[in-house]
Amino acid sequence: MTFNLTIIGSGSGAPLPGRFTSAQVLNVHERFVLIDCGEGTQINLRRFGINFNRIELILISHLHGDHYLGLPGLLNTFHLLGRTKELHIAGHRKLKELIDFIFKIAGFEPSYPIHFHVIDYFEPNYQLLFPSYSVNFFSLLHRIKATGFRISEIGTSEKISKEFIAKYKPDIETIQALKTGNEFFDNDGNLIPRSEIFIHASPPRSFAYASDTVFSRDIIPHIENANLLYHEATYASALQVSAVEKMHSTSVDAATIALEAKVKKLAIGHFSSRYKVPDLLLEEAKAIFPNTIACSDGLKIEI
């Protein structure tokens, strides 16, 4: 089953040639989740071959412009493309107020239903559920209210082996009975063990997203053992003081969190424009957490 991440924008602040601001698309079994939507997101969605109509959920972490300014234009483009499929958006209360205001002054009525989920009103441990995945929310420590996300596959039940079906050719009624726990005997009366009948599903995979935040161990319980963690790394360690002042993280901060949270892989991004290439940040992070990769626009990560 498909579970991968495409980096749409890997920069911070303002877009640069070749490095747009924050946006990512998570593909969960061909259902797409857009995470943050910086300026120009829809340009890179087209550039990297993302099917607009498969985006069913948009998650906005906070209301700094490099994380949401592309959203109004994208919603308008959905309308221009004749979208009728419903869209879910999860963001803070002020984002909903902003979108409602823009729609009102423009006299805009989208061609598709929008379901807005206000993060501010969620109870602790609230989950947003979709057919193939769930979303959990956790607080980040930034200059304004900001939220991180953990998106997890919903576990699939065990499946009948193709080899078993080809060998014994069971009918539909027998297959249904097996799924409810019945035993199966071959023509000679031999019991066939369930290990030869079923393929056990793989453990559910998860992706955690933490941007923007100052170094905070408070997020560790929410991201522990994730298959992939994205954690902002705006600065190199030499600018630790600036990172704290601006409530961002360094590459060392991100790697330390990944190590302590026991995640399997770390992706760093949200790079300051002072770094034309992220080599220094990647080097610093890998010294602490070797299984680290640096994001770049268009990078696809299999999870």
In the chain, where are the structural domains located?
3-156+201-302, 159-199
- pTM to 2 decimal places: 0.89
Which distant-in-sequence residues (6+ apart) come within 8 Å of 90 by Cβ?
57, 58, 59, 60, 116, 117, 119, 128, 135, 137
Which one is catalytic: 66, 212, 253, 297? 66
* Residue (of 139, 132, 128, 178) closest to 158 by Cα position: 178
| Per-residue CA distances from 53 to 42, 78, 94, 191, 210 (Å) | 12, 8, 26, 48, 26
User: Quick check: bond before 100 cis, omega within 30?
Assistant: no
Cβ atoms of 142 and 148 within 8 Å: the answer is: no
pLDDT tens for 131-152 read 999 999 999 999 999 999 999 9
pLDDT band at 188 (very low <50, low <70, confident <90, very high): confident
Is 66 catalytic? The answer is yes
Cβ atoms of 79 and 52 within 8 Å: the answer is: no
Domain 3-156+201-302, CATH homologous superfamily name and number: Ribonuclease Z/Hydroxyacylglutathione hydrolase-like (3.60.15.10)
Lowest mean pLDDT among 10-24, 63-77, 174-188, 215-229: 174-188
| pLDDT value of position 254 | 98
